[in-house]
């Protein structure tokens, strides 16, 4: 006889785990299945775990700002559960958004005002006072080091910055997912690791459960795709689901670099998360007094869309896709060195390479599907880590409402953000939407 649950989640990362946690608190018997060995060991472990509010849409700003409150009150969000590995820590450095041509910061500021985000406007002099290692010349347009104009000196200065005091980053993203797993388990949730889903079973357009690679069948009237970079492959397993999505997802190879702070400067203690559209990089402090540097996906940086199975095959072996590329290492570190000219760039690349799960417009899909009982929390990589606890609550309410007969396609659910009290239209994240051209079409969301 097959084991039965109220809901099965494919994925036990920072998106799948909080949805299970919230449904478990509603009384659902849940199971998260992951083909890796522990919670958060997939693409979550490589997340930069940045918590910032600047998004290109008002609802995006609202969700992120509500998310701040969960991270600032992490122990209470978890129900003060104990985790043998300890608890992840939110490093509330504050978040700097440099005013540049590379960011529509005026739109961000308008969204901040509409949502009620606390922020300060900083002059160039104030930025320099707070972060004396920054060179605040404008380097726009974004270029790569092989461009003959890359090393030209600039005479023009940036306009200043918007500083959000509640921004920052989480010190251990995998641990944060593990913490949520322990909180979910305290409410009866179960987690199954080293297990791979190979089929979504259904009958008469109703999901019945999943089949594992070893032939095990597990039944549930609800299955949730939270599979990260494998999300499109999971959708293709469920009859009619992939075809029913106007917005699709795919996996993008992405690199993050680690570079030592300038000699004599304690960036780990005194640094801020910074979004720098002028050089198309974001950076934050990292353990070891390092800069963690990511690309904001400018036009000059090539995008490499990959098959996640091929990417992860042989992970760790020489010459695999997860190795840092010399060209991108140079591009990201040299651009950041424009802003921090005393940065110590080592001879050997150091950092992380993993996959983003991107939608066509870089805005996630949080939705039901054309198959009854099959739901999706996908297209989340790069800019949704900070929203994970909010997504958990929102998706749980969506699933519960639909399972009780609500037609979300005809009348989109409205979700009240728990901390700031604002109501958002969950239909904004619909699989049926048209591409949202207000998006940045980048990691910025």
Q: What is the pLDDT of residue 123?
A: 98
Q: What is the pLDDT of residue 382?
A: 79
Mean of all residue pLDDT scores within the chain: 95
Q: Token digits for 258?
A: 């680690």
Q: Token digits for 221?
A: 């009237």
Q: What is the pLDDT of residue 383?
A: 85
pLDDT in tens, 117-126: 999 999 999 9
Pairing between β-strand 374-378 and β-strand 223-225 as defined by DSSP bridges: parallel
Q: Cα–Cα distance between 444 and 439 in angstroms, integer?
A: 8
Q: Token digits for 439?
A: 């998006």
CB 398: neighbour CB atoms within 10 A? 23
Give every CB contact of residue 14 below 8 A, 6+ residues apart in sequence.
40, 44, 47, 173, 176, 177, 180, 385, 388
Is residue 84 pLDDT above 60, yes or no? yes
Ramachandran angles phi, psi of 236, nearest 5°: -70, -20
Q: What is the pLDDT of residue 3?
A: 92
Q: How far apart are the first and last CA of the chain?
A: 45
Q: Which residues pair with 90 in a beta bridge?
A: 170
User: Residues, the chain, total?
Assistant: 445
Q: What is the pLDDT of residue 352?
A: 94
Is residue 319 pLDDT above 70, yes or no? no
Please compute the mean of the pLDDT values over residues 60-82 and round it to a whole number: 96
Give every CB contact of residue 179 below 8 A, 6+ residues apart in sequence.
74, 78, 81, 83, 85, 87, 88
Q: Cα–Cα distance between 2 and 147 in angstroms, integer?
A: 60
pLDDT in tens, 358-378: 999 999 999 999 999 999 999
**pTM of whole model > 0.85?**
yes
Helix axes 173-185, 16-25, angle to 10 degrees: 20
Domains and CATH numbers, the chain: 3-85+172-249+360-429 (3.50.50.60), 90-168+252-355 (3.30.9.10)
Q: What is the pLDDT of residue 387?
A: 96
Q: Token digits for 350?
A: 């150091």
- 320 pLDDT band (50/70/90 cuts)? low
Q: What is the pLDDT of residue 317?
A: 56
């Amino acid at each position: 006889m097959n084991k039965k649950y109220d809901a099965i989640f494919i994925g036990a990362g920072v998106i799948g785990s909080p949805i299970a946690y919230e449904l478990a608190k509603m009384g659902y018997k849940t199971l998260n299945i992951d083909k890796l060995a522990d919670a958060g060991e997939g693409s979550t472990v490589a997340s930069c775990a940045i918590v910032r509010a600047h998004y290109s849409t008002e609802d995006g700003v609202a969700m992120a700002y509500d998310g701040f409150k969960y991270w600032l009150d992490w122990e209470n969000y978890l129900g003060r559960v104990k985790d043998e590995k300890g608890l992840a820590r939110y490093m509330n450095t504050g978040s700097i958004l440099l005013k540049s041509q590379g960011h529509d910061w005026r739109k961000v500021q308008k969204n901040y005002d509409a949502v009620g985000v606390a922020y300060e406007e900083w002059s160039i002099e104030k930025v320099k006072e707070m972060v004396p290692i920054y060179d605040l010349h404008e380097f726009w347009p974004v270029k790569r080091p092989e461009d003959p104009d890359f090393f030209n000196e600039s005479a023009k200065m940036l306009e200043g910055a918007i500083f959000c005091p509640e921004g920052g980053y989480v010190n251990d993203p995998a641990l944060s997912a593990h913490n949520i797993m322990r909180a979910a388990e305290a409410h009866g949730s179960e987690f199954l690791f080293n297990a791979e889903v190979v089929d979504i079973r259904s009958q008469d357009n109703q999901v019945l459960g999943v089949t594992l690679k070893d032939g095990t069948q597990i039944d549930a009237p609800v299955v949730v795709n939270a599979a990260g970079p494998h999300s499109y492959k999971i959708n293709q397993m469920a009859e009619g689901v992939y075809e029913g999505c106007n917005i699709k997802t795919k996996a993008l190879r992405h690199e993050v670099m680690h570079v030592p702070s300038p000699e004599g400067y304690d960036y780990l203690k005194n640094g801020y998360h910074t979004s720098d559209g002028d050089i198309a990089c974001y950076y934050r402090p990292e353990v070891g007094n390092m800069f963690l540097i990511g690309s904001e996906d400018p036009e000059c940086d090539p995008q490499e869309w990959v098959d996640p199975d091929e990417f992860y095959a042989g992970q760790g072996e020489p010459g695999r896709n997860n190795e840092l590329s010399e060209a991108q290492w140079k591009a990201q570190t040299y651009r950041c060195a424009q802003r921090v000219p005393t940065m110590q760039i080592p001879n050997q690349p150091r950092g992380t390479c993993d996959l983003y799960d991107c939608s066509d417009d870089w805005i996630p899909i949080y939705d039901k599907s054309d198959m009854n009982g099959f739901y999706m929390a996908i297209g989340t990589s790069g800019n949704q880590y900070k929203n994970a606890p909010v997504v958990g609550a929102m998706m749980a309410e969506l699933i519960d409402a639909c399972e009780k007969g609500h037609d979300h396609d005809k009348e989109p659910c409205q979700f009240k953000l728990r901390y700031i009290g604002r109501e958002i239209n969950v239909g904004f994240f619909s699989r049926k939407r048209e591409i949202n051209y207000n998006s940045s079409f980048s990691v910025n969301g």
